[in-house]
Structure 1
Amino acid sequence: MRIDIVTKEFPPTIYGGAGVHVAELTRVLSSRADVHVHAFGGAREPDYHGATVTSYAQPAGFESANGAVQTLVTDLDIVGDLDGADVIHSHTWYANMAGHLGGLMHGVPHVLSAHSLEPLRPWKAEQLGGGYALSSWAESTAYHGAAAVIAVSEGMRRDILRCYPDVDPAKVHTVHNGIDTQLWTPQTGTAALAKYGIDPDKPSVAFVGRITRQKGVPHLLRAALQLPEDVQLVLCVGAADTPELAREVEGLIGRLRAEREGVVVVEGMIPRGEVTQILSAATVFACPSIYEPLGIVNLEAMACGTAVVASAVGGIPEVVDDGVTGLLVPVEQADDGTGTPVDEEKFAADLAKALSTVLADPERAKAMGEAGRARAIQHFSWETIADRTMEVYAAVAR
């Protein structure tokens, strides 16, 4: 069976959980099928663990166009190269239209994986302007036309059917995200800690993620004001989505630094080896997201043997076993699609309380970390996920 995967992110250009998912799924699927990857961006190595890789730079003449228009033009560039596929599998709205049109053009089933949903990310209008209407149209069209939709969690499946009630529930399948527990594993090295000024002898709360409304960084920064004074806060963050959010976060970090020591900010993408050292050294990992289809970053922390405190939203409760691998923080959210906590002060206080609970008991934190790694190994292996994905392919390719 030939599987053509369409994706915006692919090694070495990965900036989020969807990119990690595609890379790992491709690695494992390539031993089960003839896999062809079609990825946005500059030239890459043409072979990835046995999969054939083709890259697509943005077509000339659209340099000043809206980002959503640039995406759709790149999608059109991919469509012709999907000829010969038995199944087309697209990931995120960026690639969904290529998959949708490719399926129609070549008469093959289009499967898409739902890593997020545009109706639940209205803050993207700040980034894309009118392009948000285009991205929403592209996603909706692809979901309604797909032969199968793969949700990365049961929470995500519920969101899909709520946002797109006309989609047939029978074609929406749940296949969780996964983790490579050979790559994400507890580390004892301290070179990265020394490099970034992290004290390995002090308790610490770590965060890894982009500065986007979805990830809830401002809520964590407000919660950090309420943590014990000796606790370090280590933030490994990417660039902010908008200048307004960047200013908000910078202001909160400035306030935090004015009131306490041990605030470490690591900006930009850093090597996985450094991330695993930081996660392994942390007493607890914090995930304050207000929207998270699954939250692969929680799996990464768990695989490194670190306790997790996370908001109980989306698919996170399917990953973090409350009271066993960490603590979940309930949050009442506005029903306007933004996911904004109804009471932001309460959410920050509840987050601080849960973090403080884990920080106050290092032995319990250690036990939670060990249980988290065991759970990651047992329930979220990429081999299992690849087998489930192949089952979906087989069902639509009949």
Structure 2
Amino acid sequence: MSSRTRHPAGRVAMVSEHASPLAALGGPDAGGQNVYVAQVARQLARRGHRVTVYTRRDSADLPDRVTLDDGVQVVHVPAGPPAPVPKDELLPHMSEFGDFLARQWSLDPPDVVHAHFWMSGLAALAGARELGIPVVQTYHALGTVKKRYQGASDTSPPQRLAIEEAVGHDCARIIATCSDEVAELKAMGLDEDRISIVPCGVDPDQFRPAPRIRPAGARKRLLSVGRLVPRKGFDRAIRALAGIPGAELVVAGGPGAGLLGADPEARRLAAIAAEYGVADRVTLLGGVGRDRMPALMADADLVLSLPRYEPFGIVPLEAMACATPVVATAVGGQLDTVVDGTTGVLVPADEDHDLGPVVRALLADPERLARYGAAGRRRVLTHYTWDRVADGVAAVYGAVSSIPSLSGVVR
């Protein structure tokens, strides 16, 4: 099914309590989920469906409703204070969120609800339960994984694990983004027959190969992208740089460049660079707009995606779409997206593993880099466009709802 094909309209409600499709990326709670919700909503709207995204009002200045160019409606739900609240502190406001959804849907019920993140699932089920509306759940990240890797430093509410499991049992179907997540869901006691894998995606027209803009003879450039949080592994990339002479590392993410001096993680990374004697070869760019990111990725020799754990990870896909090879830790969705020895190299998440030899060998072999880059671009076009993601999501909707245009075989 192509995004250019028009169908009878279905009514789709998406619930994304902390990740608005309108949010600027790079903040502590803004990342891949925002992109996923925005892109899938737009793809479905372009197919003729009426799509409404419900997200929490985090500013008194926001209008009640915003209509995007493609017809997607974004509703700002009054739940908690109209101000930024860290997502780990939002649980007490989900009852108010669910009550709002119930009132809205009793007047104008959607055909299917798609909840994004565990708290959205809680609110969506509360809003849909009495009306008999099917709820599809995408977790985007699981508390079991976060607890395993963060331990005592995990700031999630203590009820998270129990609520995630309950949401999984009560929803009509679960969409997992990768095979690793399916294993985690099965370990939670959830029925594999009710789980479908639909990955995240990338826009290959936005992220595409482009000529290098660095001058001839410039240092080889390594690029790491993501939120400035310890689990993203930027510190590991900095330490590895000490054994990669002639290369520089650019880190894109976090607050604006002018605010990096006040950011704890940025200060920690700068201190590590100084400790390892590579401060003159490490650049922290701060937050980079989506309009600048494709050129930044296309200009890199190699993208390093080194999270300690990662529910999915869009960064490798964006790099591959730009025909830039990837060195990625063998975790989460990266196990599915990066084909070791074909589109890049998978390395252990163990921080004691020395990245230097792997990166040095790649940088010394331009033909191999070019081959990996071309293969990565082909893989994205075959499996990971947002159009293909929307195909998979629509098939899941069709399996649980009566919308004729969304019915189909769940892959």
TM-score (structure 2 length as normaliser): 0.82
Mapped partners of 1:88, 1:183: distance in 2: 29
Is 1:224–1:233's contact at 8 Å kept on the other side of the alignment? yes
Out of 263, 270, 273, the position equivalent to 2:291 is 273
Superposed CA deviations along residues 39-93 of structure 1, whole A, max 9, x for unmatched, are 2244463235122221225534998997134552563354232440111101112
Paired position in structure 1 for 2:314: 296
Q: Which moved more, 1:55-64 or 1:101-110?
A: 55-64
Q: Is 1:142 aligned with 2:167?
A: yes
Secondary structure of the structure 1 residue equivalent to 2:226 = strand
Question: In percent, how many aligned pairs have the same letter?
Answer: 29
Partner of 1:4: 13
What letter matches 1:302 in structure 2? Answer: M
1:39-58 matches, cutoff 5 A: 39-41=55-57, 42-43=62-63, 45-58=66-79
Q: 2:112 aligned with 1:87, yes or no?
A: yes
Match of 1:118 in 2: 143
- Rounded to whole Å, the distance in 1 between the matches of 2:35 and 2:202 is 9
1:20 matched residue in structure 2 = 35
Report the counterpart of residue 30 of structure 1 in structure 2: 45
Query: How far did residue 140 of structure 1 move?
Result: 2.7
1:263 to 271, 282, 305: 282
Aligned length: 370
How has the CA–CA distance of structure 1 residues 294 and 63 changed in structure 2, closer, same or farther, with 3 Å as cutoff? closer
Does residue 188 of the first structure (1) align with residue 211 of the second (2)?
A: yes
The aligned amino acid for 1:30 is A
CA distance in 2, matches of 1:118, 1:36: 27
Please give the residue correspondences for 1:167-246 in structure 2 after superposition, counting only pairs within 5 Å: 167-188=190-211, 190=213, 201-228=218-245, 230-238=246-254
How far residue 389 of structure 1 moved from its aligned partner, in angstroms, is 1.1
Deviations 1:217-267 (A, max 9, x none): 222222222222x10100012259x987565434213324x3453211111
Alpha-carbon contact 2:211-2:298 (below 8 Å) kept: yes
Q: Structure 1's 31 and 237: CA in aligned 2 closer, same or farther, altered over 3 A?
A: closer
2:375 to 355, 371, 376: 371
Contact 1:72 1:97 survives alignment (8 Å): yes
Instruction: Tell me the amino acid that sits aligned with residue 207 of structure 1.
Output: S
Amino acid at match of 2:70: H
Distance 1:355 1:58, change over 3 A: farther
Greater displacement, 148-157 / 48-57: 48-57
The SS at the match of 1:357 is helix
Task: State the one-letter code of the partner of 1:40.
Answer: R
* RMSD value, Cα: 2.8
Within the candidate set 380, 384, 387, 2:384 is matched to 380
Letter in 1 for 2:225: V
Maintained 8 Å contact 1:40/1:74: no
* Residue ranges of structure 2 left out of the alignment (5+ in a row): 1-9, 403-411
Letter in 2 for 1:328: L
Aligned residue for 1:359? Answer: 363
**C-alpha contact 2:146 2:154 (8 A) present in aligned 1:** no
After superposition, what is the alpha-carbon deviation per residue over 1:275-297, rounded to whole angstroms, capped at 9, x for unaligned? 11111111000011121232211
Q: Which stretch of structure 1 is more off in the superposition, 376-385 or 63-72? A: 63-72
Q: Report the Cα offset of residue 379 of structure 1.
A: 1.2
Residue of structure 2 in register with 1:75 after alignment: 97
Structure-2 separation of matches of 1:274 and 1:61: 30
TM-score (norm 1): 0.84
Query: In structure 2, what is the Cα distance between the partners aligned to 1:64 and 1:54?
Result: 18
CA distance in 2, matches of 1:284, 1:360: 12
Task: Say which is worse superposed, 1-10 or 170-179, in terms of deviation.
Answer: 1-10
Change (3 A) 1:310 1:61: closer
2:393 corresponding residue in structure 1: 389
**1:208 is aligned with what amino acid?**
V
Q: Residue 320 in 1 paired to residue 338 in 2?
A: yes
Q: Distance in 2 between matches of 1:354 and 1:74?
A: 51
Change (3 A) 1:144 1:26: same
Contact 1:4–1:82 (8 Å) recurs in 2: no
Aligned CA distance change for structure 1 residues 381 and 259 (closer, same or farther; 3 Å): closer
Q: What is the rounded CA distance, in whole Å, between the counterparts of 1:243 and 1:201 in structure 2?
A: 30
On the 8 A contact 2:238/2:278 being kept in 1, the answer is: no
Cα displacement (A) at 1:329? 0.7
Instruction: Flag structure 1 segments of 5+ consecutive residues without an equivalent.
Output: 332-340
Shift in Å, 1:199 = 9.0
